[in-house]
Amino acid sequence: MNILNKLERRFGKYAVPNLMYYIVILYAIGVMVQMLAPEVYFRYLMLDARAVLHGQIWRVVTFMIWPPSGDMFFNLLAIYLYYNLGTTLERVWGSFRFNVYFLMGVLGHVLAAVAVYLMTGSIYLLTTSYLNFSLFFAFAATFPDMQFFLFFVIPIKAKWLALFDGAYFAYAFVFGTAATRVAVVMSLLNFIVYFVMSRGSRYHPKEFKRRHDFKAQARQTAQAVKRAGRHRCTVCGRTDLDDPNLVFRYCSKCEGDYEYCQDHLYTHQHITRGGMDPRQADRN
What are 146-177's pLDDT values in tens digits? 888 777 778 888 888 888 888 888 888 888 88
Cα 170 from Cα 93, distance rounded (Å): 28
Per-range mean pLDDT, top range of 29-43, 70-84, 108-122, 124-138: 29-43
Mean pLDDT of 263-275: 75
Domains of the chain: 3-217 (1.20.1540.10), 229-284 (no CATH)
Least confident among 11-25, 30-44, 142-156, 157-171: 142-156
Cα–Cα distance between 191 and 135 in angstroms, integer?
Answer: 8
Q: Which residues contact 238 (CB under 8 A, 6 or more apart)?
A: 232, 246, 261
pLDDT digits (tens, 9 = 90+) for 50-91: 999 999 999 999 999 998 887 888 888 889 989 999 998 888
The reported pLDDT for the residue numbered 282 is 46
Is a pLDDT exceeding 80 seen at residue 192? no
190 and 104 Cβ atoms separated by less than 8 Å: yes
Instruction: Write down the pTM of the prediction.
Output: 0.66
Q: Is 18 left (phi over 0), alpha (psi -120 to 50) or beta?
A: left
Is a pLDDT exceeding 50 seen at residue 281?
no
